Amino acid sequence: MAPRTQHGLIHGELGPDHVLVDTSGHPVLIDIEGLMFFDVEWEHVFLQLRFGDRYPALSRPGLDPARLDLYMLAMRLSLVAGPLRLLDGDFPHRNVMREIAEHNAKEALALLVQ
């Protein structure tokens, strides 16, 4: 992966529930604790996971395929680790967390064998 000289402002978990419209009709980002200058591919991987088949409407040209692959693997692994941490405690919805961890473990492994 080549070094990058420019980064974009990313939200970290952008979705329709993180954008409001002000009284003038302008979009306003909310819930911005994850806001940072980083590779825009990070945000696009999140958008792919969140919107699935509807993601192409949000895509943009020029995204780095290697970065998309890396960040997809990182997010899948995070979606394994988070639920497993909850399963270490007394989280009440254990089956749901187990299913999320198993699904994302399979997705992460599938990325590695492509």
**Rg (alpha carbons) of the chain, rounded to whole number:** 16
56-98 pLDDT, tens digit per residue, is 998 999 999 999 999 999 999 999 999 999 999 999 999 999 9
- Specify if 47 maps to a domain: yes
Residue 17 has pLDDT above 80, yes or no: no
DSSP class per residue in 61-107: TT--HHHHHHHHHHHHHHHHHHHHHHHTTT-S-HHHHHHHHHHHHHH
> Could you say which DSSP state residue 7 is in?
-
- Specify if 51 maps to a domain: yes
Mean model confidence pLDDT for the chain: 92
- Specify if 24 maps to a domain: no
- Specify if 77 maps to a domain: yes
Are 35 and 11 within 8 A, CB to CB?
yes
- Specify if 102 maps to a domain: yes
Residue 114 has pLDDT above 80, yes or no: no
What is the pLDDT, as a whole number, of residue 92?
93
Q: Is 18 helix (H, G, I), strand (E, B) or coil?
A: helix
- Specify if 81 maps to a domain: yes
What is the pLDDT, as a whole number, of residue 29?
83
- Specify if 88 maps to a domain: yes
The structural domain count of the chain equals 1
Q: Could you tell me the residue range of the domain that residue 92 belongs to?
A: 39-112
Residue 30 has pLDDT above 90, yes or no: no
Percent share of the chain, pLDDT over 90: 73
- Specify if 15 maps to a domain: no
Sign of the CA dihedral with 28 first, then 51, 111, and 96 last = positive
Cα(114)–Cα(110) distance, rounded to whole angstroms? 7
